[in-house]
Structure 1
Amino acid sequence: MVSRVTVSRSKEGGFDQKLVELRRVTRVVAGGKRMSFRAVVVLGDHKGQVGIGVAKGKDVARATDKAVFQARKNIISVPLVHATIPYEVTAKHSSAHVLLKPAKQGHGLVAGGVMRVVLSFAGIKDITAKVLGRTPNKLTNAMATMKALGQLKSMAHK
């Protein structure tokens, strides 16, 4: 498994992007094995906009470029109330279960793994988050976190 952590700022729109997972994958064909790379990218503006992109490519650069493009297409808006979420929410994606609880101002971002990246790129500064499932898979944990953030509505709409 190849792992790399990079944060770069995009010129257009002011979005930061981070490569959270880079994995070499193999497809078996008649002539042997074909290697490619799968990239998982988190994109956000730290002001309530966040997205995740997953893509494969023959080389690392192509996979990351395609993942950034996918992340731009999958951006969601997160309602923020004093740098936290309006209410507690849980979500499930595949075998990943996540719990997000709002916290008082000054509490900090208490989350582990890829959840911390997704929540910080969304602009959330005070939250308690927990992965309840047993899977260590970064992609499913990130997707469950995005699903939980997508369930949030502002208090005016609730």
Structure 2
Amino acid sequence: MSENKENAAATPVASSGAPSQGRGGPGGRGQGGRGGKGGRRERPQRQAPPKPTTDDGVELVEKVVFINRCAKVVKGGRRFSFSALMVSGTHEGRVGVGYGKANEVIDCIKKAAEDAKRRIKRYAIVDGTIPHEVYAEFGGGKVLLKPACPGTGVIAGGGVRAVCEAVGIQNVLGKSLGSNNHANVVKATVAALAQLRTRDDVLGSRGKLKSKSL
């Protein structure tokens, strides 16, 4: 009997506080558990898409003016398609208008952005405003633009405002006098900007010396 007691005393007994490799071990549910070192996997960070730029490296600012949805009724139901009208500018006197169609919204916006990038042109902007009053028409759209003093802001709405902000005009008074069609209003605004001429352009067309820039 004494030998059995000695053998029992010599046998090691696992204590309740000792770490184990099972679910109660360090890290919650073992080495590969949720709380262990290898439990949480770091997700790769998504890189932001590159910003659109012109051919000479100037960053573009893109604005979606209008997205139209068209439904075609077929035998199986309705098929939807989308068209987007977009304005792209540099805030430095250059702007372009693009139009794209596709069966998905994202695709039509991409097409419109590419079209606007190809149509970018430079217009005469002086000290954040236009050099003189101008009026233009395109289809049913009629747009009137007037220069404004610093601090006025862009007093216009809809497509007129989008074009003026994209081209870099900070102070202007605008008014749409005709149709509310977004495409016609935007194109009328671009036509108005195309009529702008600075003082040097006018003197040069008359064969006189250009005025010295202050």
TM-score in terms of structure 2 length:
0.64
Structure 1 residues 28 and 102: CA distance shift in structure 2, 3 A: same
Matched, 1:123 2:176: no
Give the equivalent residue in structure 1 for 2:52.
10
Deviation beyond 3 Å, 4+ runs, structure 1: 26-34
**Contact 2:97/2:120, CA 8 A, preserved across alignment:** yes
Structure 1 residues 60 and 152: CA distance shift in structure 2, 3 A: same
Pairing partner for 2:98 from 46, 49, 53: 53
Distance 1:82 1:69 in 2: 29
Secondary structure, aligned partner of 2:129:
coil
Residue 153 of structure 1 and its aligned partner are, at CA, apart by 2.4
Secondary structure, aligned partner of 2:201:
coil
What letter corresponds to residue 139 of structure 1 in structure 2? Answer: A
Matched, 1:41 2:68: no
**Contact 1:15/1:43, CA 8 A, preserved across alignment:** yes
What letter corresponds to residue 152 of structure 1 in structure 2? Answer: L
What letter corresponds to residue 157 of structure 1 in structure 2? Answer: D
Distance 1:93 1:31 in 2: 39
**Contact 1:9/1:17, CA 8 A, preserved across alignment:** no
Secondary structure, aligned partner of 1:38:
strand
Distance 1:9 1:128 in 2: 30
* Equivalenced residues, count: 150
What letter corresponds to residue 192 of structure 2 in structure 1? Answer: A
**Contact 2:142/2:188, CA 8 A, preserved across alignment:** yes
Matched, 1:148 2:192: yes
Normalized per residue, the structure richer in strand is 1
Give the equivalent residue in structure 2 for 1:3.
none
**Contact 2:59/2:90, CA 8 A, preserved across alignment:** yes
Deviations 1:23-48 (A, max 9, x none): 11245679875421100111111111
Matched, 1:139 2:139: no
Structure 1 residues 107 and 26: CA distance shift in structure 2, 3 A: same
Distance 1:153 1:32 in 2: 53
Gaps in structure 2 of 5+ consecutive residues: 1-49, 203-214
- Root-mean-square deviation (CA, aligned residues, Å) is 2.0
What letter corresponds to residue 94 of structure 1 in structure 2? Answer: G
Give the equivalent residue in structure 1 for 2:124.
79
Structure 1 residues 29 and 89: CA distance shift in structure 2, 3 A: farther
**Contact 1:90/1:99, CA 8 A, preserved across alignment:** yes
Matched, 1:24 2:24: no
Structure 1 residues 17 and 30: CA distance shift in structure 2, 3 A: same
**Contact 2:65/2:158, CA 8 A, preserved across alignment:** no
Gaps in structure 1 of 5+ consecutive residues: 1-7
